[in-house]
Amino acid sequence: MITLEAMDRAVLGDFLRRRRALLQPSDVGMPQGSRRRTPGLRRFEVAQLAVMSPDYLARLEQGRGAVPSAAMAAALARALRLSYDERDHLFRLSGLPVPTGVGRDEHVGRALLRLLDDLGTLPAVIASDLNVVLAQNSLADALLGEQAARRGYARSCTYRWFTEPAFRARQPVGDHEKEGRAQVEDLRATVAARPGDRFATGLVAALRSASSEFEQFWTEHDVAVRRSERKRIRHPAVGLLELDFDVLATTAGQRLIVYSPAPGSKAVGQLELLATLGRERFAHETERGR
């Protein structure tokens, strides 16, 4: 394992601790909970947002952790709501090259994250135009499951749709062709808008090799950017939900996606139940994290 010999561990640790101290639960869409002895988020809360081990974050803050990968540094930058300059500083302190290149920067700005956090009563996701989930609120976690801890092309939900049966199983079989076609049509629009992007072209090549279904849809040359539609999602705790899927904001190749129930529909109560289950889980984790 590579160690942090090439960098100032104390500076990185101090930077992470101070940025954590600046955040309040309300800044990241979390409940305030009981009275806090120290300012800022608890360490386990940042670890939860970054999808990493609290122990690993503790080692980083104490200046004794292993070198963060680029994906880990990016996750920390999002969890701590860092600005672009602060994100770049974190990468430099970690001995990593600063992300560059138009269309390949997946750091989510504070404004878009603030919108995400404000949508606490609806499942909301920030995803790239290649369908890579960059952040999602707690209700989206409860509805869709954690989606960020992936590597390679599997970071894209489009790749997972065509290669992972368990991922497809969250939608009824009768909806699979419609969803698959929508995924391909949106991907074709994105690839055309990102000429020369290696991840985009590699994703298409990998999908054409892995899935005959994708290959069939791809050769038809249909194209359409996803903006609004109706989705049916199967959930093990609350059953089948019917929700509107809307892209409410776009910026720098990123989309804020919101799932909402029709007023008075069964899905209203199902989402309320999911929110309650999520709060109970968070309260349990808070007790363990003290």
Three-point CA angle 131, 171, 144, nearest 5°: 55
- The answer to whether 243 touches 260, Cβ cutoff 8 Å, is yes
Above pLDDT 90, what percent of the chain?
A: 51
Average pLDDT of the segment spanning 165-169: 95
What is the rounded (10 degree) CA torsion for 47, 53, 54, 57? -80
Tens digit of pLDDT for each residue in 8-33? 778 899 999 999 998 888 777 676 66
pLDDT band at 220; cut points 50, 70, 90: very high
- The answer to whether 12 touches 57, Cβ cutoff 8 Å, is no
Average pLDDT of the segment spanning 46-63: 89
105 vs 13 pLDDT, higher one:
13
Q: Is 132 left (phi over 0), alpha (psi -120 to 50) or beta?
A: beta
Residue 267 scores a pLDDT above 50: yes
Q: Which residues pair with 258 in a beta bridge?
A: 124, 246
In the prediction, which pLDDT does 205 show? 97
Tens digit of pLDDT for each residue in 235-249? 999 999 999 999 988
In the prediction, which pLDDT does 2 show? 46
In the prediction, which pLDDT does 280 show? 53
Domain architecture of the chain: domains with CATH: 9-100 (1.10.260.40), 110-281 (3.30.450.180)
Question: Whole-prediction pTM value?
Answer: 0.73
- The answer to whether 243 touches 229, Cβ cutoff 8 Å, is no
202 vs 3 pLDDT, higher one:
202
Count of CB atoms within 10 A of residue 273's CB?
15
Using CA atoms, how far apart are residues 12 and 6, in angstroms rounded to an integer?
Answer: 12
pLDDT band at 50; cut points 50, 70, 90: confident
In the prediction, which pLDDT does 24 show? 84
Residue type, 106: E
- Beta carbons within 8 Å of 23's beta carbon, 6+ residues apart: 40, 41, 46, 80, 81
Residue 72 scores a pLDDT above 50: yes
In the prediction, which pLDDT does 241 show? 97
In the prediction, which pLDDT does 6 show? 45
Average pLDDT, the chain: 86
**Which one of 61-65, 81-85, 201-205, 285-289 scores highest in mean pLDDT?**
201-205
Average pLDDT of the segment spanning 34-40: 71
In the prediction, which pLDDT does 258 show? 96
Tens digit of pLDDT for each residue in 109-152? 777 888 888 888 899 999 999 999 988 888 998 999 877 667 78
List Cα–Cα distances, 235 to 43, 134, 271, 277, in angstroms: 30, 22, 11, 13
Using CA atoms, how far apart are residues 135 and 107, in angstroms rounded to an integer?
Answer: 10
pLDDT band at 168; cut points 50, 70, 90: very high
Residue with tokens 């910026």: 251
